[in-house]
Amino acid sequence: MDCRLRRGATTFGSVKTPAELTETFRANGLKVTPQRQLLFGLMHGNTVHPTAEALYAEASERMPGISLRTVYQTLTDLASMGELRLIDVGSGATRFDPNTDDHHHVVCSSCGEVRDVYVAGSDRLKVDGLDGFTVEQASILFSGTCTACAAEVDKVSRASARGEERKPTNPKERMS
């Protein structure tokens, strides 16, 4: 199937609904607690690739007192059941992704935004140096500048050309 077809789809691909996750948890002998249900809901259709801390912040609004420990616990459970992917974009904290399709990511080196990208032909890459390695998986991380940040940079450089003050930079960044 052409990956492009996925864009604009009204469903969330193979992503399970909170109700389905409830089923899955019970089927695996795990209890379904209010905390877990809340997190099922927060992750469903979530495309921002949040960190545990970010989810904890959201969860805390709806359920004051929920612990960060429980957020980590539940996310780990979901991941070990294959309902969630752990993403590392090199920004320090692990990001969680309910999209379990075969896809990759772009990260904005300015604001840290992470988006899904679908890559065609990644399995046909000519790779030299494997030297016996049995490759089971490939993950591609693109990095660059999102449209919003590009606009911002543009605005700033124009302002700078007018001799105005420079705006402060945004987040922390590492790995060339």
Task: Give the number of residues in contact with Zn ion, rule: CB under 5 A.
Answer: 6
The 3-class secondary structure across 68-103, one letter per residue, is HHHHHHHHHHHHHCCCCEEECCCCCCCEEECCCCCC
CB atoms closer than 10 angstroms to residue 155? 11
Site string for its own copies, 28-47 (x = CB under 8 A): --------------------
Check residue 75 for interaction with its own copies (CB under 8 A): no
Stretch that binds DNA, among 5-13, 48-56, 125-133, 156-164 (CB under 7 A): 48-56
Task: State the CB neighbour count (10 A cutoff) for residue 68.
Answer: 14
From candidates 32, 63, 79, 156, binder to its own copies by CB under 8 A: 79
Q: CB-wise, 77 or 152, nearer to Zn ion?
A: 152
Conformation bin of residue 129: beta by default, left when phi > 0, alpha when psi is -120 to 50: left
**Residue 135 near which of its own copies, Zn ion, DNA, none (CB within 5-8 Å, type-dependent):** its own copies
Under the rule (CB under 5 A), what is the footprint of Zn ion? Answer: 108, 110-111, 113, 146, 149
